Amino acid sequence: MTQADPPNRLSRIIVRLWPQAVNLPLRDFTILQREVVGTLYGMVLFACMLGWLTLATDRADVRANWLLMLSGIIFIVIINQLSFFWILRQPDGETEMISGNLSVLIGLATLLIVGPGLIWMLLLAHLFELAHRLWQYRLFVQRWNVIRNSLVSQSTLGLSYLSCYYAFTMLGGSRPPNDLGLTTLGAMLGALLVFSAVLLGCFAMLFLLQIVLKQTAGRRMGMQYLTRFIGLTILPPLPFALLGAVVYSAYALIGYLFWCTSVVMINLIAHWLSKSVAASDQRREELARLEALGRSILSSPPELAALPTLLAQHVAGMFRERRICIGLFDGQILLRRPADEPVDPNLLAWLAAHPVERIWQPHETPPWPGAEGRFVRVTVPIRAVENEPAIGMIFLELGTLEGDPESMLPALQTLGATIVSAIHRVDEHRRTLRLHRFDQELAMAGQIQASFLPTSIPDIPGWQLAATLRPARETSGDFYDLLLLPGGCLGLIIADVADKGTGAALFMALSRTLLRTYAFEYRDDPSSVLRAANERILIDTDSTMFVTVFYGILDPATGALRYANAGHNPPFLLRHDGSLATLTNTGVPLGIDHERAWATRDLTLAQGDVLVIYTDGITEAQNEHEEMFETRRLLTVARTTTDAHQLQEHILDAVTTFAGNAAQSDDIALLILARH
């Protein structure tokens, strides 16, 4: 009960009788108020009906027809267990269930035969049924609801029976009717009108009383529901009650029993047909709604904020639920109905601790604190992957339910899978955006890294230089550099970081910066450059990466080349006389150990000599058959020309042709020096 709902005398009475009522949500407290009003009204009706029935009962009729009355009561009890129903769907998607049976048909036929004494037998039979239901439902609210329903329904039905009987006899009908003449038919028609008027009037007075007391909030059906109930379940079969009485007049008890059996069979067929049609209609409605939900999810923006709106549009009312809550265990409530009622935190805590598929029947008390029975409740976990921990729960509280609630489980499971797919779609969209941003950042990193390379190739008289870098990805772990050193010398650097990707690119940037710095500090000593760069790399990084480096210092005037090779692929010096020299390693790669030194070696390039410096991206390039390009193919191509630019093109074309459709797996760096 909320602050906005001012307490009245009725509310105070309810709280005095049941103090726990103050903790009920406003909707439940309003229902409880209607129960109290209905109970008081039912007591007044019952007193009126009981007084009239006492005056109208002929004990001699009861003693003379007790066997017939007992037979009719047995058939009525059987039929009361086999109700049939209609499910009416409103334009707004809400559903309305109208249920009934043919027990009134047998009761009215028996009434026309034995008189008002039958009503005592009906009350006695209902008393046993009431006792059973009170034993079944242990909660105060449940028992109150049962008593209220019994008082109102039995009082109204008793008054309607009495009114119908006296109208029939006053209009010229005989007891029992012995023909289907105009007088009898006219009396029966008038009696049926009186029966319907009294039935409708009694319930109309209840609704009017609720309106006066302002206790009709949340009641959507009202008189419209009652009108449909009488029009669909009571009026159509009532004329056949006259037929049952006439059959008794003609064929005595045997004919009456046969007629009652026929009514039971017809009721049974209607019962099974209504269950089948309702189940089929419910499954069709579930499929249509789930399909519409799936289409809406696909056509909506991939945002989790849109999911609650879609669920409210397509799921609310799908299961004719009284309450529904769909939530994730991260605290998000995707759907809550009624929307103006907060979700019980005890329920949320229990669902998070017990994500299981479970059904509680009305006579069962759910295990979370403060819960009561009275309604069917269903819980279904939402799992991203079967047998994995649940990420959320679906909770249903059902009011009037015809059929097995387990039939709803497949639709609820599909709903959970649909929600998971929507969440997965949102996650995939976010992941795609992150990858797109990452690709943009990688592209930017590649552009920055490309800016580290020499912007132009030095033009040295008598010499040809060609250099290129082909990254396998957006960024590269290979690099080359050309340094114009003091004294007219040229520094030649080519290196390969033993990794790929962003980490290798960052390691490359550090290595390039250190090599350039120490190359100008140790202008004529390649080994000192490598030693200083190695120490700085080991101090500044905490990584398992290392880098192979070839660093040479060329004196263009004399052709002298002083170099040191830190674990790099040995360059080839192709002499003008056809001989081959290999510039082998003079030490280990940089970034492995502090206690390392690199030797320096010297050689001279004569006119017509070509020096090919490369990374393993050339010799280890693979084709579709996983065969490598290897050193022998590189040497074969390297001997085709002494022009540096042409030779660079020949080598790159040969690698591309060899690889075919195979993707480039490693970075390629190539530096060619030729003396003319």
String of DSSP letters for 488-524: G-EEEEEEEESS-HHHHHHHHHHHHHHHHHHHHHSTT
Higher pLDDT, 220 or 154: 154
The answer to whether residues 137 and 362 touch, using CB atoms and an 8 Å cutoff, is yes
Of the candidates 139, 129, 77, 81, the one whose C-alpha atom is nearest the C-alpha of residue 366 is 139
Which of 383-387, 476-480, 550-554 has the least mean pLDDT? 383-387
Helix H or strand E encompassing 528:
helix 526-540
Q: What is the pLDDT of residues 328-378, one digit of tens each?
A: 888 888 888 887 777 888 888 888 888 888 888 877 778 888 777 677 888
How far, in Å, CA of 535 to CA of 532, rounded?
5
Beta bridge partners of 596: none
Its pTM surpasses 0.75: no
How far, in Å, CA of 163 to CA of 159, rounded?
6
Residue 337 CA: distances (Å) to CA of 307, 405, 548: 15, 19, 67
From the candidate CATH numbers 3.90.1150.10, 3.60.40.10, 3.30.70.940, 3.40.50.2300, the one assigned to the domain spanning 454-675: 3.60.40.10
The domain made up of 300-425 has a fold known as Beta-Lactamase (3.30.450)
Q: At what angle do helices 501-521 and 409-450 cross, to 10 degrees?
A: 20
Q: At what angle do helices 140-170 and 26-56 cross, to 10 degrees?
A: 40
How far, in Å, CA of 316 to CA of 335, rounded?
8
Predicted local distance difference test score (pLDDT) of residue 594:
82
Q: What is the pLDDT of residues 444-458, one digit of tens each?
A: 655 665 666 787 889
Predicted local distance difference test score (pLDDT) of residue 148:
83
Residue 71 CA: distances (Å) to CA of 216, 253, 532: 41, 9, 112
The mean per-residue pLDDT over the stretch 508-533 comes to 89
Q: Where are the beta strands (DSSP E) in 348-421?
A: 358-360, 376-383, 390-398
How far, in Å, CA of 657 to CA of 19, rounded?
89
Which of 308-317, 483-492, 569-578 has the least mean pLDDT? 308-317
Higher pLDDT, 450 or 45: 45
Q: At what angle do helices 409-450 and 239-299 cross, to 10 degrees?
A: 10
Unique residue bearing structure tokens 């001012």: 6
Structure tokens at 410: 């497949």
> What are the residue ranges spanned by the domains of the chain?
9-290, 300-425, 454-675
Unique residue bearing structure tokens 């609720």: 210
pLDDT band at 182 (very low <50, low <70, confident <90, very high): confident
The answer to whether residues 392 and 329 touch, using CB atoms and an 8 Å cutoff, is yes
**DSSP structural state of residue 327:** E
Burial class (CB in 10 A: 0-12, 13-18, 19+), 176: buried
How far, in Å, CA of 245 to CA of 425, rounded?
68
Q: Which residues contact 535 (CB under 8 A, 6 or more apart)?
A: 594
The answer to whether residues 420 and 384 touch, using CB atoms and an 8 Å cutoff, is yes
Q: What is the mean pLDDT of the chain?
A: 82
Predicted local distance difference test score (pLDDT) of residue 606:
94
Beta bridge partners of 491: 483, 553
Judged against a pLDDT cut of 90, whether residue 652 lies above it is answered with: yes
Q: What is the pLDDT of residues 500-520, one digit of tens each?
A: 766 777 788 888 888 988 999
Which amino acid belongs to residue 443?
A
Judged against a pLDDT cut of 50, whether residue 6 lies above it is answered with: no
How far, in Å, CA of 270 to CA of 268, rounded?
5
Predicted local distance difference test score (pLDDT) of residue 441:
59
The answer to whether residues 332 and 352 touch, using CB atoms and an 8 Å cutoff, is no
Cβ count within 10 A of residue 19: 9
Cis peptide bond prior to 381, omega within 30° of 0: no
Judged against a pLDDT cut of 50, whether residue 221 lies above it is answered with: no
Judged against a pLDDT cut of 70, whether residue 471 lies above it is answered with: yes
Unique residue bearing structure tokens 């009011």: 399
How far, in Å, CA of 408 to CA of 286, rounded?
9
